[in-house]
Structure 1
Amino acid sequence: MGSHLLDTTFGVCLIGVIIAAEFHGVACVQAWYYFTHQTDRWPLKLYVATLLSLDSVHQALITHTVYTYFVTNFDNPSQLNHIVWSLRVQVLINGLTALLAQSFLAFRVWRLSKGNKWLTGAALVLILAEFGSVLAYIARSIPLKALAEVETRLKALSITVNALAASSDVFIAAILCFLLLSSRTGFNRTDTMIRKLVLFFVNTGLFTRLFSLFAIASLISITVASTTFIYILFFFCMGRLYCNSLLAILNARKMIRGRDDEMFTTKDMPLSWQRAVHGQPRTESAVSARAENGKDRRELAVGIDTDTDRESAGDEDEDAKAGSR
């Protein structure tokens, strides 16, 4: 295999592993911040730990793949067309990461839409279709021994996986923004919070937007340049971006809940938001009573169900005053 062919195949894979490793490092830092600064219940902490573990396993698998081709089989061109087992398994790990991350966001759609079966069902159909395509890809790749066979026999499935990944991410993000915008009440402080949340999903959700771009880039490259491994570069990073986007959402809650004139207590929320936060309708007096007792734990309007850390004594007094107005 000529050097010009290596540049657009295994050379591109090496670049993908390096970029994915950088994203993995960011995820590890975000996870450290999450476990040291967030006081969520153990199910959510277990979820984050599982997601980070899958992320780490995937990084190990793609590193093993490149090491096998470039080091173990150095100066052995005949092995470059052989499918390394880790290259096949990493597809499954990427699929599991996507399933966990997107299911988390689909549940937020369920809570914020007050149990809308159509919206949540559409999101779940896309998510499950993507994971089903991943399983079908792995099943059909098991009998194959050469990379050339993958390029010819599984091209349609590869396109399907990438198309569903991009579609599900864009759909969920659009639905969350729509639900937030439709929750506007006309009250200045409440609508300000909605605008902040929408801006968060559109702008601050950098890793989610990167995922969409990477998924679309992977889809385009496998369609127009299927004889190269350019699409693998983007695919290697997609699971990493999922992990980072979820950690960014969880770690940004305190920033969005920050106390200034534009923020508000739960009694200012629309009724649907109060259900998402507290699990049941709340009356103004009930919320005020909780604030006075220093127990009111505010969360994102998208309904992330966690126990947040207790406020300081001075902040509790401030919340009590706000709740009694």
Structure 2
Amino acid sequence: MPLQDPEHPAHAQVTYARFYGPLLVAILISTFMYGISLTMVLQYFKLEAKRDTRVLKFTILLLITLTTLQTIFTVHQLYNTFIISAGNPVLMDRISFSVLGANACTYLIAFVAQLFLASRIWSVSKSLHSRVCFMAVPVILLGLLQMGAGLAVVSNEATSKTFSGLGSRIDLVREVIILQGAATAACDILISISLCYVLHSHRSGIKRTDSLINRMIIYAINRGIVTSICALLGAFLYYFTPDTYAFLIPSLANAYLYVISAISILTLREGLREEINQSFHLSDLDTITSRSEVMNRRQNVHSDFTEDKNHQTV
């Protein structure tokens, strides 16, 4: 007896691989990235969280909680697709709660991370008495826009209940997805520009400190590029291939990238603090002519990049 339907063997095989193959790849990648995110968060709470405010620690805890929920939802979606609903067209067409939950967590994670970065821009800019602090306002507005558009997509999925029902609204959903992706990319680009300006303003003329600030600027640029590309690629794939799960690969990965970027910024901040607290090398005196000027610059940089109980910066 043949293992495939002799009338439609190729069509059945290609459709299955094209539709569910990207889903499997997306969930495997996101599960791996969740492990990285969880490890970094645990390391942060173990080594670096003691000197941070409760609000900052709560923000990181909220991010890892949302990513944990997203991972649970995506794993359930995988199990539901390949075990529970396999071979049953009615169940396969149903939009399960795990699909809604995973999508909602994706947009919420992006918003919380963007809000966190906006707060860092505001705090450091205020310490410099710089007008760039007002750049945090459009960042927050764009974050709200991307989250609102994302939750509107989730609402359409919930009310449609089935993928075939959602197909009748595909034009509207496509437009909302494009809006969500564009708002996310614009927000991340604006964050990168603001971070680069703020970090550049903290240059002290000390070679080792400026070198670390240069690395932080490069990281801020790379972070913005990667998250923006993932957001735009997810919207692009959904617009042109809505009948597959290909858009989930960049969309799910982007949520974990936000968590990793937030923790990485805090880790780089700790590296800068340790660099400032270390003794100065003789090479640092090439650009600073007196010991008093060295101490003054060291004190200024230290006060900008470290925090007390009432004020915290990047």
Q: How many percent identity over aligned positions?
A: 21
Alignment partner for residue 185 of structure 2, among 166, 172, 184? 166
Deviation at 1:87, TM superposition (A): 0.4
Distance in 1 separating the partners of 2:261 and 2:115: 13
RMSD (Å) for aligned C-alpha atoms:
3.1
Alignment partner for residue 233 of structure 1, among 246, 249, 273? 249
Structure 1 position 40 matched with structure 2 position 51: yes
**Partner residue in 2 for 1:60:** 72
Alignment partner for residue 10 of structure 1, among 5, 17, 20? 20
**Partner residue in 1 for 2:7:** none
Query: Mean Cα displacement is larger for which, 164-173 or 270-279?
Result: 270-279
Structure 1 position 111 matched with structure 2 position 123: yes
Q: Which amino acid aligns with 1:130?
A: Q
Say which SS state the counterpart of residue 313 (structure 2) adopts.
Answer: coil
Distance in 1 separating the partners of 2:245 and 2:284: 48
TM-score by length of structure 1 reads 0.75
Deviation at 1:185, TM superposition (A): 5.9
Distance in 2 separating the partners of 1:237 and 1:40: 30
Say which SS state the counterpart of residue 230 (structure 1) adopts.
Answer: coil
| Contact 2:93–2:162, Cα closer than 8 Å, also in 1 | yes
Distance in 1 separating the partners of 2:20 and 2:117: 34
Which structure dedicates a bigger proportion of its chain to helix?
A: 2
Deviation at 1:199, TM superposition (A): 2.5
| Contact 2:208–2:284, Cα closer than 8 Å, also in 1 | yes
| Contact 1:266–1:274, Cα closer than 8 Å, also in 2 | no
Distance in 1 separating the partners of 2:225 and 2:43: 22
Distance in 2 separating the partners of 1:278 and 1:236: 33
CA displacement 1:177-226 (0-9 Å, x = unmatched): 123235546665664453233133235x5xx6432332122122123323
Deviation at 1:269, TM superposition (A): 6.0
**Partner residue in 1 for 2:228:** 212
Deviation at 1:55, TM superposition (A): 0.7
CA displacement 1:215-244 (0-9 Å, x = unmatched): 122122123323322112221222111111
Distance in 1 separating the partners of 2:81 and 2:218: 44
Structure 1 position 29 matched with structure 2 position 39: yes
Structure 1 position 78 matched with structure 2 position 90: yes
Deviation at 1:273, TM superposition (A): 8.0
Distance in 2 separating the partners of 1:66 and 1:263: 56
Distance in 2 separating the partners of 1:93 and 1:60: 11
| Contact 1:31–1:247, Cα closer than 8 Å, also in 2 | yes
Distance in 2 separating the partners of 1:6 and 1:33: 41
Distance in 2 separating the partners of 1:103 and 1:22: 25
Q: Structure 2 vs 1, CA of residues 215 and 266 (structure 1 numbering), >3 Å: closer, same or farther?
A: farther
Distance in 1 separating the partners of 2:209 and 2:152: 46
Distance in 1 separating the partners of 2:33 and 2:95: 25
Q: Which amino acid aligns with 2:220?
A: F
In structure 1, runs of 5+ residues without a counterpart are: 280-298, 305-325
Q: Which residues in structure 2 correspond to 1:112-191 (within 5 Å)?
A: 112-114=124-126, 116=131, 118-151=134-167, 152=170, 153-184=172-203, 191=210
Q: Structure 2 vs 1, CA of residues 193 and 69 (structure 1 numbering), >3 Å: closer, same or farther?
A: closer
| Contact 1:190–1:269, Cα closer than 8 Å, also in 2 | no
